[in-house]
A and B are shown apart, each in its own frame.
Chain A
Amino acid sequence: MITKGRISAFQFYVMLFLSRTLTTVTYISSYTKDVRLSDMLVQPIFRIIFGIIIMIPVYLLYKKYENKNLIDIANERSQGFSKVLSIFYVIVFFYFTVVTIARLDVFTGTVVFPETNVNFMIIFVIIFCCYGAYLGFEALGRSSVLSAILVIPAIIFILCALANKVDLLNLSPVFYNGVTPVIKTAIDSVGQTVEYAIIAIALPKVSGKITKGFFVWIFSQTLLMAILFFFAGAVMGNFASTQLFPFHTLASLAEFAMFDRLDAIFTSVWIMCAFIKASLLIFLQADILSKAFPKVRKTSFLVIIGVLSIIANLFVAGEIERFSIIDNSIIKIIVTGITVIIIPIIVLILQERRALKNA
């Protein structure tokens, strides 16, 4: 790898902010009678609460073993156990990589190049992301900050251009079908957040105020989510529910001077976030595998992960049914639950028992 070592908490959480922003801006509206767009304004509150709760086991582990992640701690127990965990987390991150790039494929195929075969685009994206991962964690951290300088003003600019189209009467009444659908959506949203699992694994590579940074991150990305949903609802109203990517449509309604639509800016935002997220996930997979199997070079793992990602995405690409199968919220909730709640609790319990035994 070109660069090794740690990054600051600021860079790390900016990276996670961009990564989560991608999931938010590529929100796919599946119209149900239960959840209205205005409910999406309220679900972030539940989301914050759930997000903080599920991170408690990881936090406890971090407090006790500051410079180690789950896998390092499991390694103290047994190498076999840590290898199993390594492979499990690699599979989880691989799954989210495939989903991210599959979403990119759906977005590209629907919005950007509706009549073009986008397979070569997928190959190039994965190659570029592997290259980004190859350059290392520090390079990713630095480029995240630079990307954020472009992404955040771009989003603010689009929202400012939409300000005159806001009509509060376009919003629907909150909790129209009760609180339960909103809570379900919040849980679904937490399940979509692979960043919690990333925090659990990548903490040893981060230095600085991690806990404070976590709260700033969770509040800021939730705030962004709420603002985006507010604008989507207040500007488009029921129109938003008819669009596959409502935020892209929202950007296409924004007008500035002689430019009638600003969806090109949205596309740029989206792509930069996708690149950061996919590169980060690929990097973590290679990093975990190289620690579990130190005899194999990291570059070899990158190549293998890249090739597998290409095969997986080409299989999914082009057929919307395959995409809807893999982009299943139930799978994501289960996976997130295991990676962020169950495994950390198991590791914590095992370590406590070991400590008691030694004592």
Chain B
Amino acid sequence: MRRGLIIILAIILALFTFSENEIYKKDIRNRLVIQGIGIDLEEDGTYTVTLQAIDTNSSEASSADGASQPPLKSYKLTGETVYTAIKSVTEKEGKIPLYSQNRIILIGKSITKENMNDVIDFFVRDVEVGGTVYIAAAEKTAGEILTAKNGKELISAQTLENSIESYEYDAKIFATELYELINRYNSGSKDFALPLFSLQENGEEKSAEIVGTALFDNTEYREVISKNETIYLNVLSDEVYNTAIAFDGGKGTKVSLNIVKSKTKRKVTLTKDVPTFKIQVYMDADIAEISGGVSSAMTVKQIEEIKKKGEEYVEKSINATINSLYHKHNSDACGLGRLLYIFEKDFYRKNEKNIDSVLKNSLYEVDVQLNIRRIGHEYLSDY
């Protein structure tokens, strides 16, 4: 009797749960899998959100570049806030957006450091949005990139993501994930940097390429540094995994090095209330190419010379980047200000409000040590 009552109760509870219909709402068939989100701020204060989502209604995808990719569809949505704009896609598709598979968030030119907080608040609050989604800036509007077609196919968010992920092989890209952005945004200077996408047109063929790094240091507008400067921005941030550099090797040669490992040690000391940042860079590199130069065996002396030239070149480039960041653009995108916060907290507390000028007037000592590991298949001579 008792067991029967328990079973009946369980069935009733289950029926109630069933009847709520909740189980069907979030079923994967009722979800619109979003791959890319582009956000632009209009002059009237509304947001235009461009969504790129997987189109499950179309047939199997063909691909322009040989790799298979799912069929995509783009939506242009407007709303007073980012969330209301995105949510309006439910009216068009009858499906609930699934943010967890989102690969990239593109920020249009109209969004600056000042209103960045309004834009990313939704992504911070929502549980589905992963903190590891890449965030990038568009040279003009995010909408134009996410709706652009390469032939018949949309330029996919996956392609954009792959471009950013190539930072592991090429330090010309300053990759930023959402949680890193929030971390920097909530730190003292609130300066941050994002990779900058630009739409390139070649007849009917369009492509989105990273043309540099956008610095968000000014509340009103943003500034851009070149890809070459981005390499050294990554060096300063200790975010170089693998990259290539080329420099004048002397005697009419151009040397290309493949940097396989790079480690940057950063220290700060205070001398008479003037911070001195000591930046030590250790690089392991392989000689990839020497053009216009050696056709016979390399000598140890030659390698030493290349090494010395390389160190000088890197040191010079880092100094140029520091100059560009702190003196020209007034940006602490590489996060050196954080060193002050951690190691000289009293000084930082005293100068928190004018940290930008402190960093501008600080001293920077750069020391580079380059280690040539391999020289390729060229054989080495003792002479």
Contacts and interface: CB of A to CB of B under 8 A. Distances in A.
Indicate yes or no for A touching B, C-beta below 8 A.
yes
Interface of A: 110-111, 113-117, 120, 123-124, 169-173, 176, 236-239, 241-243, 249, 252-253, 255, 260-261
B127 A111 contact: yes
B16 A241 contact: no
Contacts of B17: 120
Contacts of A111: 127
User: Could you tell me the dominant secondary structure of chain A's interface residues?
Assistant: helix
A118 B266 CA distance: 50
A235 to B, nearest CB: 8
Nearest to B185: A238
Contacts of B159: none
Contact of A169 (B20, B132, B342): B342
A245 to B, nearest CB: 9
B186 A241 contact: yes
Contact of A253 (B26, B131, B339): B131
Given A173-B345, A242-B186, A253 B22 contact: no
Interface string B183-196: 10111000000000
Size category, B interface: 20 to 34
Contacts of A114: 127
Nearest to A241: B186
30 contacts: A110-B127, A113-B22, A115-B22, A116-B20, A123-B13, A124-B13, A169-B335, A169-B338, A169-B339, A169-B342, A170-B183, A171-B342, A172-B341, A173-B341, A173-B345, A237-B186, A238-B182, A238-B183, A238-B187, A239-B183, A241-B186, A242-B124, A243-B124, A249-B179, A252-B130, A252-B131, A253-B179, A255-B132, A261-B130, A261-B132
Nearest to A117: B20
A239 B339 contact: no
Contacts of A120: 13, 16-17
Contact of A239 (B100, B186, B342, B345): B186
B130 A237 contact: no
B131 A237 contact: no
Contact of B182 (A116, A124, A242): A242
Contacts of B349: 176
A312 B143 CA distance: 50
B353 interface: no
B127 A173 contact: no
A239 B127 contact: no
B125 to A, nearest CB: 9
Contacts of A169: 335, 338-339, 342
Given A236-B179, A253-B132, A176 B16 contact: no
A239 B187 contact: no
Nearest to B9: A127
Candidate in B22, B25, B185, B349 with the most chain A CB atoms within 10 angstroms: B22
Interface in B310-354: 335, 338-339, 341-343, 345, 349
